[in-house]
């Protein structure tokens, strides 16, 4: 494994840590406020996602046109700006949308730089490292961010800003490789053409739809837990919700570590089995009523989820590297997966505003994931060729 990947691991770890510290800082702000409605947290998640959808045509092109290490630095500074707006009491929906803009630019560069750092046969392994370290960062960011925010929201935001700056400094150690993809004309038109070309094979269609399914389910589970945990498990603050979500993150780390040997790139179709497991895990979670059983269910959901998303990410980068550009492929993936997340989280936001029980929301989500996986699998060849 190329030693330069360690600089990327450090940079993205710090950035992901700060991302989730901010999320649970905002959750703490909502839980402490008596004026903000229950649908405010899913609404915050929605404005974050909208940035990915709107910026997708340009985010990928930027990652492929300019050195990805420089793009990572710029994206972290944008995130730091959004955190600063929260610190100075700007409307959280606006400030968190700015953080989302930085994240939308960061993602294609983070994943798109991997094919430039490692050989194709090591791409799944590199993705498992990135995914695993990202989840560890999410895990620590949630717990530390929530605990600090329960003590002081301002200190939590200051810490996040410093982490974004440190992540930008860590990116200085990445190689400066100038982009090979030159864009001309209207970027939106080119983005539409890329969508058309990317959906020509079963392999790329499965990767795009599969990634969208995973992130829609993951985002919805996370926001449903905020309402479900106080109702079923009697949790009382952001720290307790974060500690519960910890088991979901640990499961994803375990699944990410295990998957390289189980699902190599030329057997991508195997990823449908963990997707079924994820659906069944969400359904099982809806029937739990103790902290122990909830932790077990969340760990299982995370483990099969990690086994599902890692090979899909690797396939998308490899397909993009040989076609539209790895950054553009990741941005295209982000476009579809964030539309799916927006629909899913938006639907739950509407349901929560209409007093729909979070237990029923989890049960319906698990059923929808199972049906969606079944429909995708019906049109999926048993073996998908590597190229």
Residue 375 exposed, middle or buried by CB count within 10 Å (0-12, 13-18, 19+): exposed
Contacts of 377 (CB under 8 A, 6+ apart): 272
Q: What is the pLDDT of residue 14?
A: 93
CA distances from 223 to 110, 226, 348 (A): 25, 5, 8
Q: Which residue has the higher pLDDT, 37 or 323?
A: 37
Q: What is the pLDDT of residue 204?
A: 72
Residues 343 and 348: their CA atoms lie apart, in Å, by: 9
Residue 47: pLDDT above 70?
yes
Q: What is the pLDDT of residue 164?
A: 94
Q: What average pLDDT does the segment 236-256 reach?
A: 77
CA distances from 8 to 157, 168, 175, 246, 254 (A): 23, 10, 10, 23, 21
Residue 166: pLDDT above 90?
yes
Q: What is the pLDDT of residue 327?
A: 61
Residue 76: pLDDT above 90?
yes
Q: What is the pLDDT of residue 74?
A: 93
Find out whether 130 and 8 touch, Cβ atoms under 8 Å: yes
pLDDT band with cut points at 50, 70 and 90 for residue 183: low
Tokens of 260: 């390289």
| Closest alpha carbon to 102 in 24, 16, 43 | 16
Residues 290 and 217: their CA atoms lie apart, in Å, by: 22
Q: What is the pLDDT of residue 93?
A: 86
Q: What is the pLDDT of residue 334?
A: 74
Residue 152: pLDDT above 50?
yes
Residue 217: pLDDT above 80?
yes
Give the chain's end-to-end CA distance (angstroms, integer).
Answer: 23
Q: What is the pLDDT of residue 348?
A: 82
Q: What is the pLDDT of residue 231?
A: 79
Q: What is the pLDDT of residue 247?
A: 85
Residues 164 and 171: their CA atoms lie apart, in Å, by: 11
> Maximum distance among all alpha carbons in the chain?
57
Least confident stretch, 74-78, 186-190, 214-218, 325-329: 325-329
Q: What is the pLDDT of residue 230?
A: 81
Find out whether 30 and 154 touch, Cβ atoms under 8 Å: no
| Mean of the per-residue pLDDT values of the chain | 79
Q: What is the pLDDT of residue 335?
A: 80
Residue 84: pLDDT above 90?
yes
Residue 75: pLDDT above 90?
yes
Q: What is the pLDDT of residue 36?
A: 67
Residue 386: pLDDT above 50?
no
Least confident stretch, 6-10, 25-29, 261-265, 306-310: 261-265
DSSP H stretches of helix in 66-122: 68-87, 92-112, 114-117
Find out whether 298 and 290 touch, Cβ atoms under 8 Å: no
Q: Which residue has the higher pLDDT, 52 or 82?
A: 82
Residues 130 and 384: their CA atoms lie apart, in Å, by: 24
Q: What is the pLDDT of residue 157?
A: 92
Using DSSP, state whether 257 is helix, strand or coil: helix
pLDDT band with cut points at 50, 70 and 90 for residue 380: low
Percent of the chain clearing pLDDT 90 (strictly above): 13
Residue 182: pLDDT above 70?
no
Give me the domains of the chain, ranges plus CATH numbers: 5-174+186-378 (1.20.1250.20)
């Amino acid at each position: 494994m190329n030693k330069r990947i360690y600089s990327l691991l450090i940079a993205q770890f710090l950035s992901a840590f700060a991302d989730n510290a901010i999320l649970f800082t905002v959750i703490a702000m909502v839980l402490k406020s008596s004026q903000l409605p229950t649908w405010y947290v899913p609404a915050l998640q929605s404005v974050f996602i909208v940035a990915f959808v709107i910026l997708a045509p340009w985010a990928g092109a930027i990652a492929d046109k300019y050195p990805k290490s420089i793009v990572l630095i710029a994206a972290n500074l944008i995130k730091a700006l959004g955190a600063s707006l929260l610190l100075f009491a700007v409307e959280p929906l606006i400030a968190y949308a700015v953080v989302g803009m930085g994240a939308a630019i960061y993602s294609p560069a983070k994943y798109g730089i991997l094919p430039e750092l490692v050989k194709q046969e090591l791409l799944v392994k590199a993705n498992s490292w990135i995914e695993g370290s990202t989840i560890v960062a999410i895990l620590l960011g949630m717990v530390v961010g929530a605990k600090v925010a329960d003590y002081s929201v301002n200190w939590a935001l200051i810490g996040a800003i410093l982490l974004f700056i440190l992540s930008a400094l860590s990116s200085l150690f990445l190689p400066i490789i100038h982009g090979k993809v030159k864009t001309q004309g209207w970027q939106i038109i080119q983005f539409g053409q890329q969508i058309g070309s990317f959906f020509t094979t079963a392999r790329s269609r499965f990767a795009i739809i599969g990634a969208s399914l995973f992130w829609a389910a993951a985002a919805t589970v996370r926001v449903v837990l905020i309402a479900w945990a106080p109702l079923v498990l009697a949790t009382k603050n952001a720290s307790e919700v974060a500690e519960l979500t910890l088991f979901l993150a640990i499961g994803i780390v375990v699944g990410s570590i295990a998957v390289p040997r189980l699902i190599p790139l030329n057997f991508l179709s195997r990823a449908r089995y963990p997707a079924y497991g994820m659906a069944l895990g969400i359904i099982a979670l809806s029937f739990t009523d103790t902290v122990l059983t909830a932790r077990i269910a969340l760990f299982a959901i995370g483990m099969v989820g990690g086994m599902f998303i890692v090979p899909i990410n690797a396939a998308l980068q490899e397909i993009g590297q040989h076609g539209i550009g790895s950054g553009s492929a990741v941005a295209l993936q982000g476009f579809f997966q964030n539309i799916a997340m927006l629909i899913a989280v938006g639907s739950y936001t509407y349901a929560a505003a209409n007093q729909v029980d979070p237990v029923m929301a989890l049960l319906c989500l698990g059923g929808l994931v199972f049906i969606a996986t079944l429909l995708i699998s019906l049109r999926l060849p048993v073996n998908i060729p590597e190229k």
